[in-house]
Amino acid sequence: MQRRLQLIILAHVWVLVPLALAWLLEWRGPLAPSDVRGIALLNAIAALYLLARTYFTLVRWTAAMVTWWPWIDVILVTAALILVRNPTDAIALLYFVPIASAAATLDVRLMAVIAAAYVLAVLITDAPWTLAVIYRIVIVVLVGSMYGSILRLVASTERAKERAEYRTALAREIHDGIQHLLVTMGTRLDLAQRLVGESPERAARIVGEERMAARRAADELRYLVRRLRISDAHSDLATALRTQIAALAERWPFNLELDVPAQLPRLSPATEHTLLRVIQESLTNAAKHARASSVEVVLAQQDGALTCTIRDDGVGFEPSATAEAGVAGLRERVKESGGSFTVTSSPGAGTTVTATFPLPRSPQ
């Protein structure tokens, strides 16, 4: 939502730029030389700031810089009001920009700073507290609050839609996975029952195989239930991943090392599920086939993407000589999420699985 908010704000501000220039050059009227120099300097700073903000929003987007923009907006608008010595000037309407950011993110501290900055402008300019001053404050706050509420409502609606789609996909996965496994298990156990008299060895072998299948079905069901709970309980992806991976590690025979940043932006529910599937399947392969003693799971955020790397010290394999049925399924799922998937391995050198997912333009 943050990047979307910045794009909306930038679009509105750029629409105002030609009108602001015309207003400053023709409609404002004569100014004292000192005022002209001050306003010219402030305009130059504002122009550079707007260009820099546009560049970082469109080209070099970083979520960390978003927190600074509204505060700079407040400083520039307040300085302009003080320079023109008129807190009822139309420049005060530009407080709408940081107020919209504060309302959309529920930043009460920023709202308080905006109010304090306007009061400071009134006090410094010795302007009287007229009805016009109060009216402008109320209008800007109400419009900014309404604007932010609409953005939050849209973001909440989209998130609810994503979750509904994710739950539908999860139900289909349960139907095609666990249910199919249980149906097959029932059929094979029926066969084992018929073979008890004539071929007890074969019947015992089938029962042993289906016992393992029952454990896999129970593990899969436990994973899906925990995944649903974690998706709803945690607001940040990093905590959800640590919790889920720790649960996956309970049944593995190797030492698992986890390197996850303190905070990660939320992905769509389907992409987060795919990410966990990549980790789950990679850990399963490391336990069943690689006979690894140590596995490392590393997640890193860089250049607008989230990269998940799983390395093991197992026996390795020759990728070109392997059918990679399970790997092909993972690669397809990652591709559907807009990401990329690679497997690097060689006999005796372990295996490295890398999945890269594009980060959303706005946080989920």
Give the pLDDT confidence of 118-164 residue by residue, as tens digits. 889 888 988 787 787 777 777 777 776 776 677 677 777 777 776 77
Query: For the whole model, what pTM was predicted?
Result: 0.47
pLDDT of residue 247: 66
81 CB burial (10 A radius; 0-12, 13-18, 19+): buried
Q: CA neighbours within 13 Å on the CB side: how many for 40?
A: 8
Give the pLDDT confidence of 194-243 residue by residue, as tens digits. 888 888 888 898 888 888 778 777 766 766 666 665 555 455 678 777 77
Domains, the chain, with CATH or none: 2-127 (no CATH), 236-364 (3.30.565.10)
* 3 state SS of 175: helix
Distance CA 47, CA 152 (A): 29
Give the pLDDT confidence of 3-21 residue by residue, as tens digits. 676 787 788 788 878 877 7
State the alpha helices, DSSP H only, in the chain.
2-22, 33-58, 63-66, 69-84, 96-105, 108-124, 131-174, 180-195, 200-233, 237-248, 269-285, 325-336
pLDDT of residue 364: 39
Q: Of 248, 321, 230, whose CA–CA distance to 285 is shortest? A: 248
Count other C-beta atoms under 10 Å from residue 246's C-beta.
11
Distances (CA, A) of 289 to 49, 265, 350: 56, 33, 11
Q: What angle do CA 215, 219, 220 make, to 5 degrees?
A: 115
